């Protein structure tokens, strides 16, 4: 699948049933998105998908296809840009 991650195009094949938080952490190495409760209750896995905050532990990775995803790493980059 193709999607935009922190302003960069990404092409990756998510595992069947894989949640976005696992794809970000395990396949892409972006560990800023945390796994707290893994039940969509604590908010530590929050990312922004097409301008909306979502809980990545309950968001199927395949749903990110064609979308824009911003993680905490991406927010850090935005904050440092002039």
**Domains of the chain and CATH, by start:** 2-80 (3.10.20.30)
Residuewise pLDDT in 10s, the chain (82 residues): 999 999 999 999 999 999 999 999 999 999 999 999 999 999 999 999 999 999 999 999 999 999 999 999 998 776 666 6
With vertex at residue 15, the alpha carbon angle to CA 12 and CA 18, rounded to the nearest 5 degrees, is 105
Instruction: Report d(CA 68, CA 66) in Å as an integer.
Output: 7
Whether the predicted model's global pTM rises above the 0.75 cut: yes
């Amino acid at each position: 699948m193709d999607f935009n991650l922190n302003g960069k195009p990404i092409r990756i094949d998510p595992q069947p049933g894989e949640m976005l938080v696992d794809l970000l952490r395990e396949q892409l190495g972006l560990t800023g998105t945390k796994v707290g409760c893994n039940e969509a209750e604590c908010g530590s896995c929050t990312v922004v998908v097409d301008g909306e905050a979502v809980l990545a532990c309950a968001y199927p990775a395949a749903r990110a296809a064609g979308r824009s995803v911003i993680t905490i790493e991406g927010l850090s980059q935005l904050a440092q840009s002039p």
